[in-house]
Amino acid sequence: MELALAEARAAAADGEIPVGAVVLGPDGAVLGTGRNARESDPDPTGHAEIIAIRAAARALGDRVLSGCTLVVTLEPCTMCAGVILAARLPRVVFGAWDEKAGAVGSQYDLLRDGRLPHPVPEVVAGVREAESVELLRAFFAARR
């Protein structure tokens, strides 16, 4: 989570919403990192999770990320949850809950929706939550 938080801080420094993500391989090695880049790219899909997942898939040479873990500072949205399922990520760890757009337990729970034909990933929420929340709070307070 420390690396994901560092990515989130870098996103904030770039004027992006401070969200950072890391994909770890089965052995714990970093396969991909990402930070929000929707404004700087400009790309509506430029979420930290998607950038990290794309990098990990390139590193492995495979779209299926078996045995990998996604670590992200904010609960993934519906778009990112769909990509998590498509990549067959078996584990997702996140910091802050997203009470407005979260899709991994707060507003929606796409990862554990039994109607979808994908394996259900393990979800670990609230890891270094206070730090993740503070980055977001400070970012938006500075914008008001």
Residue 83 has pLDDT above 90, yes or no: yes
Residues making up the binding site: 47, 77, 80
Is 93 a residue whose pLDDT tops 90? yes
* Residue pair 140/12 in contact by the 8 Å Cβ criterion: no
37 pLDDT more than 90: yes
For residue 49, indicate whether it is catalytic.
yes
CA diameter of the chain = 43
Q: What is the pLDDT of residues 21-33, one digit of tens each?
A: 999 999 999 999 9
Q: Considering Cα of 72, then 77, then 80, then 81, what sign does the dihedral take?
A: positive
How does residue 54 score in pLDDT terms, banded at 50, 70 and 90? very high
- Which pLDDT belongs to residue 143? 87
Instruction: Point out the annotated binding site for Zn(2+).
Output: 47, 77, 80
pLDDT confidence of residue 118: 86
pLDDT of 104 strictly over 90: yes
State mean pLDDT over 91-99: 98
CA distances from 55 to 12, 45, 133, 139 (A): 21, 14, 25, 26
Catalytic pick from 7, 16, 39, 49? 49
In the chain, count H helices and then E strands: 4, 5
